[in-house]
Amino acid sequence: MAYPSDLTDDQWAVLEPLLCRASKRGPKHADLRAVVNGILYVTRAGCPWRYLPGEYGPWTRVWSQLRRWSRNGTWATVLAALHEQARAAAGRDRLPSMLVIDSSLARGASQGGVTFHDRGGPYGATNGAKRVVAVDVTGLPVGALVVPASTTERRATELLLEHLAELGATDRLELVLVDRGTTAKAARAMSGRFGFEVRRVFHEARLKEFVPLPYAWRVEVTHGRIGRARRLTKSSLNTTASATGWLHIACVDLLLAALAPA
């Protein structure tokens, strides 16, 4: 039985070479596609692992592969590669010259044990995690990261830019747009450090109606689309590596839909 979250043949043809290239070590499953489909099923449905349909194989096998890929950075590598392919398919340069970075707060859900969740957001009212996402001018995600909710906007932005630099995604970058959560002093400091302009964009006065900021609104749309994955309704992981892995999977799902619509 096929589920709506299952990859199409065209999507699997795009994803399979990237997974095999990025994950050269570790056990190779006979039906890797079923494993990936199982991961996407949990991502979209948000169900406990033990509720995973039997068509995907033992839930422990799917879970262990997800854990391995999250820890060794496979999802981050695949996300960056898919983003390059999506830009090329749209007739653009493979690497972006402008990015928009913004974060959203996710309330933490305790699964027992010590977690990375802490209090952040306005007045420290939210106990959970901060999801930081970078998108290009088309609104497609190029990188993402999860940090404790108390992490400042400047530090969260710096960590994501460092992550993107390691992936080679900043080689052509000229401009990064951030919101007012990053101070003017911090924006100048990051501009000097990274070698491209970090610019704050926001409305100077309170508006009576919603007016989207040019380009900056695209990251808000992406956060909304990522939020449709029920596994991300709350932050229920105990480590930032696991939480970031799930965020990467949701971004990969968006890119696959753009590259090979179902």
Cα–chain-centroid distance for residue 82?
Answer: 12
CA distance 155 to 150: 10
Domains belonging to the chain, first-starting first, are 9-259 (3.30.420.10)
Better-scored residue on pLDDT, 1 or 136: 136
The per-residue pLDDT for 123 is 81
| Closest CA relative to residue 233, chosen from 46, 66, 102 | 46
Using left for φ > 0, alpha for ψ between -120 and 50, and beta otherwise, residue 243 falls in alpha
Mean pLDDT of 66-84: 95
The SS3 of residue 52 is: coil
User: Is the pLDDT score of 254 beyond 80?
Assistant: yes
Q: How many CB atoms lie within 10 A of CB 62?
A: 22
The per-residue pLDDT for 174 is 97
Q: Which helix (H) or strand (E) holds 197?
A: strand 197-200
Mean pLDDT of 132-147: 96
pLDDT band at 25 (very low <50, low <70, confident <90, very high): low
